[in-house]
């Protein structure tokens, strides 16, 4: 029996840290990891796959930046074949992309469900964060990447930062159609473990999978602010951590890994 853990983010909830931890521990504890492009900076981010099943009119950040092709039937077929080629005959696999959090419609669900046919069951994983912090961190991300003005000028139905995106119940309802959703509380995880990684390992039925990687916080801005807020302190925006210094980096392809 093959199970697929589908991690859908959403954005700014420790997704990059989770993906690079998966890359570090791929093949361990009998867990296969979907790899979209081993040559890419983040090989585990299935953004191309997720965008292939996202409604065409929605301007996601990768689409605005020209990083993914326009979705069509041949692309979806190619993504389906790529997933099937990596799917284990038995056991578990995980696929991860915060871009999955954009999906909402029945057509998107039907197309994706067909692509997930090689698996006997799908277990969606969502990470919930304090709504105000989640929204602030997401919008800060859009500003940093230079797409904020373009995104806010779009009609609500075409913007991937519209009010619909922050509708948590709608997100949960969509993924509940695929299987029983496993929820990780981002703020509680930081308060308990200092990192979201142990909670995500438990959601994968593999406690301890990420032991020793708790400091693997590649996008530290949101997590740094959340951890400081729990301590009653807000760090300055220009801190060394905020600019990307003092990070524990994972080994990446091209940097000591074949």
pLDDT, position 215 = 74
| Total domains present in the chain | 1
Closest CA to 13 of 123, 115, 96: 96
- CB neighbour list of residue 183: distance below 8 Å, 6 or more residues apart: 125, 126, 127, 128
Residue 235, pLDDT score = 40
Show the low-confidence residues of the chain (pLDDT under 70): 39, 217-258
Q: Note the pLDDT of residue 251.
A: 36
Q: Which residue segment(s) compose the domain that 171 sits in?
A: 2-230
Domain membership of residue 251 (yes or no) is no
Domain containing residue 61: CATH number: 3.40.50
Identify which of 98, 95, 152 has the alpha carbon closest to the alpha carbon of residue 129.
98
For position 218, what pLDDT does the model report? 64
- 49 assigned to some structural domain: yes
On whether residue 192 sits in a domain, the answer given is yes
Structure confidence at residue 245 (pLDDT): 28
Strand 182-185 versus strand 121-128 pairing type? parallel
pLDDT of residue 220: 53
- Predicted pLDDT at 222: 44
pLDDT of residue 39: 66
* Within a domain: 196: yes
Judge whether 242 lies within some domain: no
Is position 239 within any domain? no
43 within some domain: yes
Task: Judge whether 175 lies within some domain.
Answer: yes
């Amino acid at each position: 029996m093959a199970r697929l853990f589908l991690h859908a983010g959403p954005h700014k909830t420790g997704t990059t840290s989770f993906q690079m931890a998966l890359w570090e521990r791929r093949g361990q504890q009998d867990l296969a990891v979907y790899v979209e492009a081993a040559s890419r900076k983040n090989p585990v981010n299935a953004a191309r796959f997720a965008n292939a099943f996202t409604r065409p009119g929605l301007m996601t950040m990768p689409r605005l930046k020209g990083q993914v092709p326009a979705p069509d039937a041949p692309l979806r077929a190619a993504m389906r074949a790529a997933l099937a080629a990596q799917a284990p005959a038995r056991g578990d696999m995980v696929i991860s992309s915060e871009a999955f959090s954009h999906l909402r419609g029945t057509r998107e669900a039907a197309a994706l469900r067909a692509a997930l046919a090689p698996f006997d069951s799908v277990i969606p994983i969502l990470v919930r964060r304090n709504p105000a912090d989640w929204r602030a961190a997401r919008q800060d991300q859009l500003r940093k990447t230079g797409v904020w003005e373009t995104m806010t000028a779009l009609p609500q139905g075409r913007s991937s930062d519209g009010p619909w995106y922050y509708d948590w119940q709608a997100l949960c309802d969509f993924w509940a159609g695929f299987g029983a959703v496993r929820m990780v509380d981002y703020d509680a995880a930081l308060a308990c473990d200092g990192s979201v990684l142990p909670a995500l390992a438990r959601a994968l039925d593999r406690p301890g999978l990420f032991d020793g990687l708790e400091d693997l916080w590649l996008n530290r801005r949101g997590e740094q602010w959340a951890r400081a807020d729990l301590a009653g302190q807000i760090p300055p925006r220009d801190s060394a951590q905020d600019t990307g210094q003092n990070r524990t980096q994972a080994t990446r392809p091209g940097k000591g890994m074949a």
